[in-house]
Structure 1
Amino acid sequence: MRLTFLSISLFALTLTACSSTAQSNKIIHSSPEEAEIEQSAVTSKPRVEYAPLKTVDMAARQSVVSAYDAMRMRQWDALPGYAYSAQNDHELGNYPMYWYLRQQLTSSQGFLPTTELKKFIKDNPRTYVADRLKAEWIIAAVKQGDYRTASTLGPVHINNSQAICAYNQALAASGQHVDSTKVIRVIKGNERCAEMVGALYRSGQLSKSRLTDLFRDAVEYDNKFMAKKYAGFLFDGTDFMQYQAIIVNPMQWLATQSGTAGSPQQAELRAIAFSRLARQDRNMGITILENRGPELLSAKDLQWAYSQFALVAVLNQEVRADAWYRLAKDSRLSDYNSAWRTRAALRQSPIDWKWVEKSIDLMNPEQKKETAWIYWKAKALQQQGKSSQATELYRLLQEQHDFYGQLAQEELTGKIVIPPQAAPVTDKELAHIKQNTGLQRAVALFRLGWRAEAVPEWSYAIDGLKDRDLLAAAAWAEQEQIFDRVINTSLLTKKEINFAQRYIAPFNGRVGQQARQVGIDPSWVYGLIRQESRFVQVARSGVGASGLMQVMPGTASLVAKQIGMYDFSPSKVNEFETNAILGTNYLRIMLEKLGGNEILATAGYNAGPNRAVRWRDNLTQRMDGAIFAETIPFTETRLYVKHVLSNAVWYDMLLNGKTSSSLKKRLGMVTP
C-alpha cells in the first residue's frame, strides 16, 4: 500500500496510539496498532447455529443476485419483491430484506420500520445480519433521542464503534450505569462517540479531568472534529470562541495573554495554544515557551507543553526532541506521545539506556506491558549489565511470534525456531465446521465475489470458536482459496499453532519463481505480499494500490516502461503475472536504490523511496536496524516494515526447510 500524504499529520499517523502487543497480569495480547487480525466483539461460545450443508435453490439464489444488483443501483423499492422470491435460499435468502431495512435505517429522517425490523430480527436469530440491523437501529434510535428503545435493543454484538457508543450514550442519558473506563477504549472519531462522551460527562460518569485528557489527546492527534466536540463540553460560549481563535492562530492569541491564568478554563486554553503552536511553528514556538511559558503556565502544564514540542520534533527526527521530553518530566502523556518519548531516547547517540528504562517506567500500567516496551526495557536492562532482569523480561515474550518475540528469542537462544505445530485438521473436524451456518453464508458470499458482505459474516461466524474449530475453519478457507481468511482465522488460536496456515504460500511457487528471476529473496516477497494483500488478488487500497503486491497505477506504468513491458495496460494490474512482475521489479528497484538494505527498501516500497532516503540521511551515525524500524515516523510504514521483515523470517524457514533463522541478521545496521 502506498502512502500519499506529503507532510506529517498527527491525526493520520496516530489514531491508534500503542505500539505492539500488551501483557495484562502476565497475559500478552495484541494492541490495536500492532494487531494482525480484525477486532471483533469477543464471545465465549459460538454465536451461530450448526446444520448440515444443503443444496441451494438456484432460482432463489438468482433472486438474491438480482437483489444485489438492485442494491448497488440503489433501486431500494425493488428489494422487498426479491426478498419474497429469495426465501427458499437457506443461506442468503435473508439478504434482500436485510439490504432494504439497512437502507431504511441509515437514510431515515424520522420514520423507522419498527414492525419489519422486529420481525426480521425474530426470524433470523444468531445471525450477523440480525445483529448488524440491531446495531443500525440503535444508532438511528439515538439520533432521534429514543434512548429507551436503544438501551432495550443493546448491548451491541458486532464490532461497530458507532453502535457501541450510541448504546452507551443511551444508557448514560437514561441515568443507567456505564463502565466508562471500558467504553472510552472503543472511541473513534465519529459523532456518536463524541456524543457518548458528552452524555457520560453530563451524567457524572466521566470526570472533568478524564475529559480534559481526551481533549488534549484529540488536539495532539490533530483530530479537529473530536477536539471541537470536547471543547464544547468543557468551555462556555466565550471560552469556546477563544478556543476557535487558538486553532486558527495560537501565536496571535498567546500575545493577548499575560500573568497567571484567571481561571482553570483559561489555563487549559493556554496549554492548548502551545500545543497548536508546536505544530504551526515549533522554532518560534519553543522560544516563546522558554521565555513566557513559566509566566503563563502552571508547572504541570509547562511540562506538558514541552512534550508537545518534543513530539513534533521527534516525528521530524530532530535530536533536540529528547531534551524536550526530559523537560516534560512525569507529566501525563498520551500513549502515543509516551511511545515516542522512548523512541526519541533510542535515537540518541550514545543511547542513555537508563533513561530508556525510565521513559518506559513512566508509561501507564497497561502500555508498559506491551511487547514493544517489554522488549526495549529488557534491552535497556541488558545494556546496563542487569542480565538476570533482562532475561526475565525476554522470557515473557517467548510465546509471541511477532517482531519482538523473534528478537527476544534471539536474545535468549541466539536463533529463531518455529514453535511446535498443531496436529493436522482431521476430516471429522472439517466436516463439523462446515455445519457452521455462518461460515456457510460467508463461503457462499465469497463464491459470488461479494467480499464486503462475506468478511463480516466470516468474522461473526468464527467468534467464540475454540482452537481446533478455528484451524478447521482456516482449512475450509484454504480449500476455497480465501487466503486472507486462512491467515486471519488461524492467527486467532491461543495454543494450537499452525504456521502452514498463518504463513500460507499459495500460487504453487510462482511468486518465488518470479522473485528469483529478478534477483530478490522469495521469503521477503512472500512476507511483503502477506502484509500488503493477504494474497487477495482483487485487493484495492483506499489510495488506489491494486493486486497481490498493491502496486499504484503510476508506479505500474513507470515500472512497465522501465522493464520493457510494452503490452501493459492499467486493466491488467490485478492479473497475477502482471502484478507479480511489476511488484517484484519495483521491489528490486527499491533495493538497488537504497544500497541493498531490506529495511530501507521495504520502507521505500510502502512510503516511497524519497522518504526512505530522507529517513536514512537524517541519521548521524550507523544505527541498529531494530531501532531504525522502531523509530520510523509514519505509523503505517513503521508497522509495515516490522510485519514484513518478521514475516520474511518465518517464510525463510518454511520455504527453504531451515530449522532456524535470524531477524537480527536481516535487520542489520542502517548507515547514513
Structure 2
Amino acid sequence: MFSNKRIAGFALAAASAVLLVPAAQAKKPVATFASEDDIFLALRDASRNGDAARAAELAGRLGNYAMPSYVDYFRLRPRIISAPEQEIRDFLSRYEGSAIADRLRNDWLLELGRARNWMLFDEQYPQFVLNDDTQVKCYALMSKALKGQNVADDARGVLVNPQNYGEACPALITTLVQANQFTLDDVWAQVRLIADSGFAGTIKRLAPVTEASETTLMQALDKPDAVLARGPGGNRASHEVFIVALGRSAKNNPSRAVDALVAGAERLNEREREHAWAQIALQTSMKLAPDAIVYWHRTNGAPLSNDAYQWKARTALRAGEWKLVKSTIEAMPASLRNDPAWIYWLGRAHLAEGDQETARKLFSSITDQTNFYGQLALEELGKKISIPQRAEPVTPEELAPMADNAGFRRALKFFDLNMRFEGYREWNWELRKMNERQHLAAAEYARQKNVLDRMVNTSDRTKTEVDFTQRFPTPFRDVMAAATEKLGLDMAWVYGLIRQESRFILNARSHVGASGLMQVMPATAQFVARKIGLSGYSQQQMNDLGTNITLGTNYLNMVLHDLEGSQAMATAAYNAGPGRPRAWRSTLSRAVEGAIFAESIPFTETRDYVKKVLSNATYYAALFENKPQSLKSRLGMVAPKGFVPSELP
C-alpha cells in the first residue's frame, strides 16, 4: 500500500507532466457551429486557404448535407496536387456534367500543365466545357507546340491580358521561341505589353529569351530614368530595354521620356522609333494629354497592343481626326475590330468622309444589339430607341421545369449563404443548355424568387424572344418615385444607375466598401447625411432601403448640379468621384459629343459604367414614357469649363 504522502507526490508529478506536454501535441478543442450551413462556410474557407486537414475534418461533419458535390470538392481541392489520380477521376465520374465537376477539371488541368503531364492533360482538356481559363489555354497550346504543331497565330490571340498569364503563358512563349514559332519581335511585343501592366515577375520569366539580362529588364521597370540616362545602347536588346523604360518613365513624367527619345532617336531604326513613340503615346493618352495625338502620328503603321490601338482611336476621336480614327480601327485585329464600339466609330469615320453607304452598312450590322453602341447606331439611321414587342408570357408549363432544376436550387442555396460566386456559376451553367423561351422562363423563376440580378442577366441573353420588364425591372417604385420627385431627379436615370451598381441586390457590398442598392461609400453617406440634415444617421442604416435611396439620390443630385446638369459627367462622378470628370473635361480643347467623352474616360471601370448606365436610362425612359427616346440627347455635349455655348457645333 502507498502512503498518502507518496500518492500526493505521484499526483504532483502527473500534474507537472501535463504542463510539459508540447502545445502542438495538446488536443485542440472541437469548434462548435450554430448550423450545418456554418460548417459548410467554414469548409469553403479552409479549402480556399489550402488547409487540407481542416477541410477533411469539417467535411466529415457534413455527411448528409444538401450539396454533397461541394462538400466533396472543398475536401479534395486543397489536396489536388497530391491526391491519387483515381480519386480525382472518381469525383469527375460521380458528378459528371455538373458545374463543380467542370471546375475541378479546370483545377486539375492547371496542375497537370504545371507538372508537364501532357498525356493526362491532352486526355482531359477536350472535356473542359467552359474553357475560360487563359492559363489552361496556354498549356493546351504549349502541348500542341511540343508535338510539332504550329500554334503561333492562336497564341497571339490568347496572349493579350498579362494579368491572367500565371506560369503557363510565359512558358508557352518560351516554348514557341525554342520551336522557332515566335521571333524576337513577338517576344519584345509581349515584354512591352507586360511592362504596361506592371507584372515584373512575368517579365523575369521571359528574360532568358530576350537576349537581355534579368537585372537590366528589372531596371527598365523599376528605375527607368537610369536606363534612359544611358541612352539606347548599341544592340537590339539594349534598344528594346530603352523602349520599355520610355513607357515606364512616361507614366510619371512624359516630358522626360520625350526628351530622352528625341536625344536617342538616331540610334534606333525606324520601326524601333515607332514602337518608342507608341510607348509614350499610350501613357500620355491615358492622361488625356493634348500632345498624345502628335505622338500617335509618329507611330505610323507600327503593330500595337489591343490597348494601344484603342487609345490611338480614342485620342483621334477627341481630336476630331476622323481619318486617323478610320485607319486605326482598320488596323486592329479582327477580334477587336468586330467589337460594336469600333464598328460604330468606323461607321462614323466613313460618315465623316461622306461614304454614307458603307456607314449605313456598319450601323445596320449592330442595331439589333441592345447596348450603348447598338442604340447610337440606330440613331445614326434616323431612328430612336424604343421598347421591342414583348414576347408571349411564360406559361406554367414552361416555368415548372425551372423550379425542378437542381442547378438552380443549388444556386438559390448559395445566394442564401451569400456565396454569390458559386451561385452564379451554378445558375449560368444551367443556362448553357437552354433555348430562348427557357431563358425567359428561368428569368421569370428568378423574379418569383426575388433574385432580380439573375432575372436581369438571364433575360439579357435572349435575341428574338425579348421581355424588357425582366431586363429593366422597377422594384420599390413608390419609394423611388417619392425620392426623385422631391429632388426633381430623372427616375429613369436613377434606375439605370441602380441596374448597373447593384443589380437590385439590397445587401450588395463592393470590394471597396460601397453598400446597398445605390452602392454608396461610407464617407459619402456621412457627408450627404450631414448636408441634408439626416439626424441620427449611422453606417448600419446603409442597407435600409429608404435610407440608401435617400442618400444615393441626394448625392447623385449634388454631383449633377455641380457638373452643370450633364448626366454623362455626373454618372462618371458617381463612380469615380466628382473631381475626376472635371479634370478629364479640362483636357478638352473643344466641345465633344457625350459619346466621345464617355469613350475616352481613362478608367476602364468608369468608362464601361457610364455607357451602361446611360444606355439603361434610355430604355427606362422609353418604358416610363411609352415613347421612343434619344441616347444622344441624354449624352449631350461635354465642353471645357467656360466654353461659350454658341461655339458648340
| Same fold, TM-score > 0.5, yes or no | yes
Deviation at 1:325, TM superposition (A): 0.6
Asked whether the 8 Å contact 1:511–1:580 carries over to 2, the reply is yes
CA distance in 2, matches of 1:162, 1:389: 36
- Aligned partner of 1:44 in structure 2 is none
* Residue from 264, 286, 291 that aligns with 2:263: 291
Matches within 5 A, 1:34-113: 63=36, 66-72=39-45, 75-86=54-65, 89=66, 92-105=67-80, 111-113=82-84
Matches within 5 A, 1:335-346: 335-346=306-317
- Aligned partner of 1:46 in structure 2 is none
Deviation at 1:193, TM superposition (A): 3.6
* Residue from 305, 318, 343 that aligns with 2:289: 318
Asked whether the 8 Å contact 1:138–1:166 carries over to 2, the reply is no
Deviations 1:609-630 (A, max 9, x none): 1111112222233222111111
Deviations 1:523-568 (A, max 9, x none): 0001001111111122221211111111111111111111122222
Asked if 1:252 is matched to 2:213, the reply is: no
- Aligned partner of 1:204 in structure 2 is 179
- Aligned partner of 1:137 in structure 2 is 108
Deviation at 1:485, TM superposition (A): 0.9
Asked if 1:164 is matched to 2:133, the reply is: no
CA distance in 2, matches of 1:160, 1:394: 30
What runs of 5+ residues in structure 2 fail to find an aligned partner?
Answer: 1-33, 641-649
Deviations 1:324-369 (A, max 9, x none): 1111100011111111111111222xx2322322232232333222
- Aligned partner of 1:330 in structure 2 is 301
Instruction: Say how many residue pairs are matched.
Output: 596
Asked whether the 8 Å contact 2:399–2:441 carries over to 1, the reply is yes
- Aligned partner of 1:632 in structure 2 is 601
Query: Which region of structure 1 is more displaced relative to structure 2, 316-325 or 385-394?
Result: 385-394
* Residue from 188, 203, 209 that aligns with 1:227: 203
Query: Which region of structure 1 is more displaced relative to structure 2, 125-134 or 267-276?
Result: 267-276
Deviation at 1:144, TM superposition (A): 4.2
Q: SS where residue 279 of structure 2 aligns?
A: helix
- Aligned partner of 2:624 in structure 1 is 655
- Aligned partner of 2:444 in structure 1 is 475
Asked if 1:410 is matched to 2:382, the reply is: no
Deviations 1:579-602 (A, max 9, x none): 111111110111111111111111
- Aligned partner of 2:120 in structure 1 is 149
Asked whether the 8 Å contact 1:372–1:404 carries over to 2, the reply is yes
CA distance in 2, matches of 1:217, 1:588: 40
Q: SS where residue 304 of structure 2 aligns?
A: coil
Give the TM-score taking structure 1 as reference length.
0.83
CA distance in 2, matches of 1:539, 1:203: 49
Question: Counterpart amino acid of 2:632?
Answer: K
Query: Which region of structure 1 is more displaced relative to structure 2, 549-558 or 92-101?
Result: 92-101
Residues 1:188 and 1:312: Cα distance change in structure 2 (over 3 Å): closer
Deviation at 1:443, TM superposition (A): 2.3
Deviation at 1:121, TM superposition (A): 2.0
Asked if 1:304 is matched to 2:283, the reply is: no
CA distance in 1, matches of 2:373, 2:198: 30
Query: Which region of structure 1 is more displaced relative to structure 2, 587-596 or 390-399?
Result: 390-399
- Aligned partner of 1:546 in structure 2 is 515
- Aligned partner of 1:123 in structure 2 is 94
Question: Counterpart amino acid of 1:253?
Answer: V
* Residue from 465, 479, 488 that aligns with 1:496: 465
CA distance in 2, matches of 1:487, 1:233: 49
Asked if 1:361 is matched to 2:340, the reply is: no
CA distance in 1, matches of 2:543, 2:458: 25
CA distance in 1, matches of 2:612, 2:538: 31
CA distance in 2, matches of 1:495, 1:200: 45
CA distance in 2, matches of 1:162, 1:540: 28
Q: SS where residue 118 of structure 1 aligns?
A: helix
Question: Counterpart amino acid of 2:300?
Answer: K
Query: Which region of structure 1 is more displaced relative to structure 2, 207-216 or 335-344?
Result: 207-216
Deviation at 1:176, TM superposition (A): 7.2
Question: Counterpart amino acid of 1:79?
Answer: L
Matches within 5 A, 1:362-441: 362-441=331-410
Asked if 1:568 is matched to 2:537, the reply is: yes
* Residue from 245, 251, 259 that aligns with 1:273: 245
Report the aligned-residue RMSD.
2.6
CA distance in 2, matches of 1:554, 1:268: 45
Asked whether the 8 Å contact 1:442–1:454 carries over to 2, the reply is yes
Residues 1:540 and 1:190: Cα distance change in structure 2 (over 3 Å): farther
Deviation at 1:514, TM superposition (A): 2.1
Deviation at 1:652, TM superposition (A): 0.5
- Aligned partner of 1:214 in structure 2 is 190
Question: Counterpart amino acid of 2:155?
Answer: S
CA distance in 1, matches of 2:180, 2:136: 17
CA distance in 1, matches of 2:187, 2:215: 19
Question: Counterpart amino acid of 2:412?
Answer: V
Deviations 1:87-144 (A, max 9, x none): xx4xx23222221112333xx5xx2254433322221121112221222222234444
CA distance in 2, matches of 1:98, 1:464: 23
Q: SS where residue 413 of structure 1 aligns?
A: coil
CA distance in 2, matches of 1:529, 1:206: 49
Deviation at 1:71, TM superposition (A): 4.0
Residues 1:355 and 1:190: Cα distance change in structure 2 (over 3 Å): closer
Residues 1:206 and 1:581: Cα distance change in structure 2 (over 3 Å): farther
- Aligned partner of 1:506 in structure 2 is 475
Deviation at 1:174, TM superposition (A): 5.9
CA distance in 1, matches of 2:137, 2:529: 48
- Aligned partner of 1:242 in structure 2 is 216
Asked if 1:191 is matched to 2:166, the reply is: yes
CA distance in 2, matches of 1:376, 1:565: 46
Identity of aligned residues (%): 34
Give the TM-score taking structure 2 as reference length.
0.86
Question: Counterpart amino acid of 1:84?
Answer: G
Question: Greater helix share, 1 or 2?
Answer: 2
Residues 1:83 and 1:266: Cα distance change in structure 2 (over 3 Å): same
Residues 1:245 and 1:188: Cα distance change in structure 2 (over 3 Å): closer
